[in-house]
């Protein structure tokens, strides 16, 4: 069951929060080979479930009351250890919950555990996790995408109805696309970053991953909202009821054409030779469905799409090199067992604690921020970042929503790109610009491509248009059943 169905079953007392949690904990163990989870704490989970059942017995009702979820291991939690997929934080126990985690807990959601991810959310295949790769339920020899690969694998394998993820340059949208689930990265600042282990602070954003847009709407309504005292980049914009937005009638809409009047912009740059034909075909078929729903398609241009790769891979490592300097063996996590002096302690601690991709990014970031290179790289990247954001504003004068592929191919084989960082970076081409501009974006299951692997349709909206995005995805999901398909064996 998805979130909405399960919440209804729990509210009707057809099952209990404890029963649902126990069932899914057993399922998670049965499918341990997927590598979706990094940590459980059965006693804590059942205590949360009993508390939810008590609230239900007292007559309380809510769309998440008693519903099991799991969190990407980048959100700090008091009930589970937090590693951010890194050896550096092995065994780290946070004294507080991330705001997003706390809000979901307050709404009565029950946390089953922590989900695998690329180390410090750096990666596109979950193969940078220091613990284990995660596998794609549609073909376990393939990656589930990254960095929120554990979240995607768990939801796609029906181990949990929904999960949290984070997206810095595509880490919600791309794994959702690779595993046939729905995920939304909200406008930057919409969800609090408090308690999210920082990768690139000007890009990091939390969001839900679930089977359907309707289920994402339920989670996002609880996750979003100002948290200004704890996160100075949190936006002072009241939380919205995204579930209500799903069925909000559009001007001129009819029952058979719920999206009448919606202008969908197709960036030329997203449909070029760089995108695999099987992906393009699935995306085009989804767009034809949108036309039936009343939407019109308009050609637009995002001319600096290609530049988003160098710009992102300068800005994100620059911020990461700064954020990760706190992991010095003194304040947090791992410390080398043997060292001669302070400098040696730092060096050994960081060499042992960080994996190769994280070290690579710290070096790139330190380099582009260094005296003499700052103006040439970092400052230039920031200037182009502004132009990329302006390209979107220009595009939104011609359309309401932008659509295209999420990634240029379906999920690749585990190990295929592990030795080639550049190949990983290039695969982020369609998701990075949205993040650089701080815009909301989502991935919606849109069919299957090569090897029978899922393909996602990316939808990007203007700032604060999460409601319209979710409605656009919801209308599609009312007319199609891609999001209901489940991988064989799950
Ligand atoms: N794949 C991108 C990276 O490696 C995006 C990761 C993310 O969004 N956290 O940085």
* The domain over range 3-249 is classified in CATH as 3.90.1300.10: yes
180-214 pLDDT, tens digit each: 999 999 999 999 999 999 999 999 999 999 999 99
User: Which tens digit of pLDDT belongs to each residue from 454-467?
Assistant: 999 999 999 999 99
CB 116 within 8 A of CB 164: no
Contacts of 421 (CB under 8 A, 6+ apart): 357, 360
For the chain, percent helix, then strand, then coil, each to nearest 5? Answer: 40, 15, 45
Tell me phi and psi for residue 64, to 5 degrees: -120, 5
For 199-244, the DSSP string reads: S-TTT-EEEEEESSHHHHHHHHHHHBS--TTT-TTS-------HHH
Quote the ligand 1 centre to 328 CA distance (angstroms): 23
Whether 124 is in the pocket of ligand 1, judged by its Cβ within 6 Å, is yes
Tokens of 274: 């760089």
Please give the number of the atom of ligand 1 that sits closest to the Cα of 121. Answer: 9
Nearest ligand 1 atom to alpha carbon 167: 8
Q: Which of 94, 111, 129, 147 is catalytic?
A: 147
Q: Is the CB of 16 under 6 A from ligand 1?
A: no
Q: What mean pLDDT comes out for the span 378-402?
A: 98
% of residues, the chain, pLDDT over 70? 100
CA of 254 to the centre of ligand 1 (A): 40
The verdict on whether 147 is a catalytic residue reads yes
The verdict on the CB of residue 172 being under 6 Å from ligand 1 is: no
What average pLDDT does this structure show over 217-240? Answer: 96
Q: Which helix (H) or strand (E) holds 277?
A: helix 277-292
Look at residue 116 in the predicted model and tell me its pLDDT: 98
How confident is the model over 307-352, as pLDDT tens digits?
Answer: 999 999 999 999 999 999 999 999 888 999 999 999 999 999 999 9
From the list 16, 72, 192, 417, the catalytic residue is 72
> From ligand 1's centre to the CA of 37, what distance in Å?
19
Residue 254 DSSP label: -
Predicted pLDDT at 333: 87
Q: Tell me if 164 sits within 8 A of 104, measured CB to CB.
A: yes
* Ligand 1 centre distance from Cα of residue 435 (Å): 10
Q: Tell me what pLDDT residue 46 has.
A: 98
Query: What mean pLDDT comes out for the span 358-372?
Result: 97
pLDDT of residue 418 exceeding 90, the answer is: no
For the chain, give every domain's residue range.
3-249
Write the pLDDT tens digit of every residue in 288-305: 999 999 999 999 999 999
Q: Which residue among 125, 128, 316 is best mutated to probe the pocket of ligand 1, counting the most ligand atoms within 8 A of its Cβ?
A: 316
Number of residues that make up the chain: 490
Q: Calculate the average pLDDT of the chain.
A: 97
Average pLDDT over residues 208-227: 98
171 Cβ closer than 6 Å to some ligand 1 atom: yes
What pLDDT shows up at residue 349?
98
Q: Could you give the C-alpha distances from 159 to 88, 178, 247, in angstroms and in order? A: 28, 17, 28
Instruction: Tell which atom from ligand 1 comes closest to the C-alpha of 128.
Output: 4
Output the pLDDT for position 254.
Answer: 92
CA–CA separation, 362 and 346 (whole Å): 14
DSSP characters over 351-415: HHHS-HHHHHHHHHHHHHHSTTTIIIIIIHHHHHHHHHHHHHHHHTTT-SEEEEESSSSSPPBTT
User: Which of 72, 152, 428, 429 is the pocket-test mutation for ligand 1 (most atoms within 8 Å of CB)?
Assistant: 428
Q: How far is CA 388 from CA 120, 289, 382, 392, 429, in A?
A: 25, 29, 10, 7, 13
Q: What percent of the chain has pLDDT over 90?
A: 97
Tell me the pLDDT band of 419, cut-offs 50, 70 and 90: confident
Using one digit for the tens of pLDDT, what is the confidence trace for 164-175?
999 999 999 999
- Structure confidence at residue 450 (pLDDT): 98
Q: What is the pLDDT of residues 234-247, one digit of tens each?
A: 999 988 999 999 99
Ligand 1 atom at minimum distance from 199 CA: 9
208, two tokens: 């839900």
Atom in ligand 1 nearest the alpha carbon of residue 361: 10
* 316 alpha carbon – ligand 1 mean position (Å): 9
Sign of the dihedral through C-alpha 268, 274, 278, 283? negative
Given 16, 124, 171, 433, the catalytic residue: 171
Q: Please compute the mean of the pLDDT values over residues 439-448 and round it to a whole number.
A: 98
Res. 78 pLDDT band, cuts 50 70 90: very high
Q: Is 168 in the pocket of ligand 1 (CB under 6 A)?
A: yes
Task: Give the Cα separation of 200 and 335 in Å (integer).
Answer: 24
* Model confidence at 401: pLDDT above 90: yes
CB atoms within 10 A of CB 346: 18
Looking from the CA of residue 435, the nearest atom of ligand 1 is 8
* pLDDT recorded at residue 305: 97
pLDDT of residue 331: 87
Which two tokens mark 361?
């990014």
Please write the tens of the pLDDT for every residue from 16-75. Answer: 999 999 999 999 999 999 999 999 999 999 999 999 999 999 999 999 999 999 999 999
Ligand 1 centre from 438 Cα, in Å? 14
In short, whether 170's Cβ falls inside 6 Å of ligand 1 is yes
Arithmetic mean of pLDDT, 136-164: 98
Angle of CA points 432, 292, 1, to nearest 5° = 65
* Per-residue model confidence (pLDDT) at position 189: 97
What pLDDT, on a 0 to 100 scale, did the predictor assign at position 346? 97
Ligand 1: does its nearest atom lie under 6 Å from the Cβ of 127? no
Report whether residue 169 contacts ligand 1, using a CB cutoff of 6 Å. Answer: yes
């Amino acid at each position: 069951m998805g979130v909405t169905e399960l919440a209804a079953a729990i509210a009707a007392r057809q099952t209990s929060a404890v029963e649902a949690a126990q069932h899914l904990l057993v399922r998670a163990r049965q499918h341990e080979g997927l590598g979706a989870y990094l940590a459980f704490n059965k006693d804590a989970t059942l205590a949360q479930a009993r508390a939810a059942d008590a609230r239900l017995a007292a007559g309380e009702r809510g769309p998440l009351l008693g519903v099991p979820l799991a969190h990407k291991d980048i959100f700090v939690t008091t009930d589970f250890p937090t590693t951010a997929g890194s050896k550096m934080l092995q065994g780290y126990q946070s004294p507080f919950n991330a705001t997003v985690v706390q809000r979901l807990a307050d709404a009565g959601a029950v946390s089953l555990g922590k989900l695998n991810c690329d180390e410090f959310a750096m990666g596109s295949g979950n193969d940078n996790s220091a613990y284990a790769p995660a596998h794609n339920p549609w073909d376990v020899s393939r990656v589930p995408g990254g960095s929120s690969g554990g979240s995607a694998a768990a939801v796609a394998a029906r181990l949990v109805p929904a999960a949290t993820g984070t997206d810095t340059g595509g880490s919600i949208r791309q794994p959702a696309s690779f595993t046939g689930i729905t995920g939304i990265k909200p406008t930057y600042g919409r969800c609090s970053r408090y308690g999210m282990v920082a990768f690139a602070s000007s890009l990091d954003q939390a969001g839900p991953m679930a089977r359907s847009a309707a289920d994402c709407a339920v989670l996002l309504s609880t996750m979003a909202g100002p948290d200004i005292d704890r996160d100075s980049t949190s936006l002072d914009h009241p939380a919205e009821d995204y579930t209500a937005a799903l069925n909000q009638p559009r001007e001129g809409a009819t029952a058979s054409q719920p999206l009448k009047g919606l202008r969908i912009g197709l960036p030329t740059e997203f449909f070029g030779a760089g995108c695999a034909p099987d992906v393009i075909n699935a995306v085009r078929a989804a767009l034809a469905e949108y036309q039936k729903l009343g939407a019109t398609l308009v050609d637009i241009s995002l001319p600096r799409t290609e530049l988003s790769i160098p710009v992102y891979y300068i800005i994100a490592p620059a911020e990461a090199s700064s954020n990760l300097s706190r992991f010095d063996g003194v304040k947090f996590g791992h410390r080398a067992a043997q060292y001669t002096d302070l400098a040696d302690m730092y060096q050994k601690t960081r060499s042992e604690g960080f994996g190769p991709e994280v070290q690579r990014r710290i070096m790139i970031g330190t380099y582009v921020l260094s005296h003499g290179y700052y103006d040439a790289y970092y400052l230039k990247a920031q200037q182009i970042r502004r132009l990329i954001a302006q390209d979107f504003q220009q595009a939104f004068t011609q359309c309401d929503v932008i659509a295209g592929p999420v990634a240029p191919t379906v999920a690749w084989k585990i190990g295929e790109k592990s030795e080639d960082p550049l190949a990983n970076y290039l695969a982020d081409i369609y998701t990075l610009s949205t993040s650089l501009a701080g815009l909301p974006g989502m991935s919606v299951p849109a069919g299957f491509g090569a090897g029978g692997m899922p393909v996602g349709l990316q939808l990007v909206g203007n700032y604060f248009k999460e409601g319209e995005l979710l409605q656009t995805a919801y209308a599609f999901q009312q007319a199609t059943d891609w999001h209901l398909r489940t991988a064989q064996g799950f």
